[in-house]
Amino acid sequence: QLTKERMIQRGLDAIQQDNSPHIVIDMSKMRSVAEIITKSGVTVGAIIPGNNVFSMFDGDRIESEDRLKISMSNSGWNEEKKDKAIAYNLLQHIYKMEYGENGKINLQLIAMYSAPKVVEYKMNQLVNAGILDFEEQLNILGRYSELSSVAPDIENLLISHSTVSGITMGKKIRLADMINNKVLYVHLGRVKDVVSKKTILEMVSNMVMDYVQSFVSKGMEVRKPYVTVYSRGNKTDSVLGEFFENIHEFSQILFISDNVFAIDNYSYISQCFPMRIYSRHDTMEGCEEVEKCFGNIYVRKKTYSSARDMHYKSRGFLDRILGTDRVLTETISDQRPEAKYRKEDIAVMPEGYCILSYAGRDFIACI
């Protein structure tokens, strides 16, 4: 507990000095990190899930399609259904012909063209206005007839996004505003289903990548956001693996877990972090996993034995007085493997002490 709090505190101190955006992702149900943040004088600038708009369709058309595909995959859609949904951007084309500007696939756009009679009426208006000819009208109506069956599924997908991201109220979150002692607090512990967790994490990773790319596109020095993630060590926290893989080049990540070994794909997650810090674990199973991380060293052990001749005549008076009436034997064993850090020692490690591993080197330190 002490090591966890000190790590988070030092991370907060470093981030405040750097004045970069900061995102905190809390996988616990009890908002464990919120209390530490508050004590540190840091303000929660926005909360997810909460009353904030967080659209997956920010950015250009290709990025929007990629994000939609990821969301469909998270929801278990097959490839045929995905392709059909992407082709339904036909609505954007219709909207542009009608209003002269690009539209985005959202609940409002789907509602505008949800009824075939409405689409047919709008097509007739475009033909009468000379924007379309009769053959183009037939092609669009035929294409719409093929694709419109996927509209309810897209609508349900967008509604689920609205539910988890609070898209119905409030103002849009800007990562650039999460500076000067402000953090974006993402409380995933209150989200029960895995699909919603993946959706929120995908939104956060898109926000991080878009923020960094905005500096690159302007030729400016990149200020990478900080991301602090706290996990209790549950199996379902495996959703963090793909998230870390997506953002590790775009951000600076501090990942803290009570027991990372309990997460289904912890070995995959650990590959994202060149520096690893292990402190005392509450369970011997966790301590044993830490022991395995550092392998064995080969040692020679010395043993000593003492032999005394108890025959009366062989024990001289002077030897008995000086205590030299015995033979000491030193035995050195062959090299034998032994855990570099024993699980028994890890289990009783004092608070604040930890094993730090970086670039192939490791040592015990006090934080």
The answer, yes or no, to whether residue 131 has pLDDT greater than 80, is yes
pTM for the model: 0.65
In this predicted structure, what is the pLDDT of residue 168?
A: 34
Per-residue pLDDT tens digits for 186-230: 888 877 777 778 888 888 898 899 899 988 888 888 889 999 999
For residue 274, is the peptide bond before it cis, meaning its omega torsion is within 30 degrees of 0?
no
Report pLDDT for 230: 93
Model confidence at 313, pLDDT cuts 50, 70, 90, reads low
- Return d(Cα 317, Cα 325) in angstroms, integer: 9
DSSP string over 283-296: SHHHHHHHHHHH-E
Predicted confidence band of residue 357 (pLDDT cuts 50, 70, 90): very high
100 vs 325 pLDDT, higher one:
100
pLDDT at 363: 92
CB 301 within 8 A of CB 25: no
pLDDT at residue 277 tops 70: yes
Contact of 105 with 92, CB cutoff 8 Å: yes
For every residue of 18-48, DSSP letters joined together read HT--EEEEE-STT-HHHHHHHHTT-EEEEEE
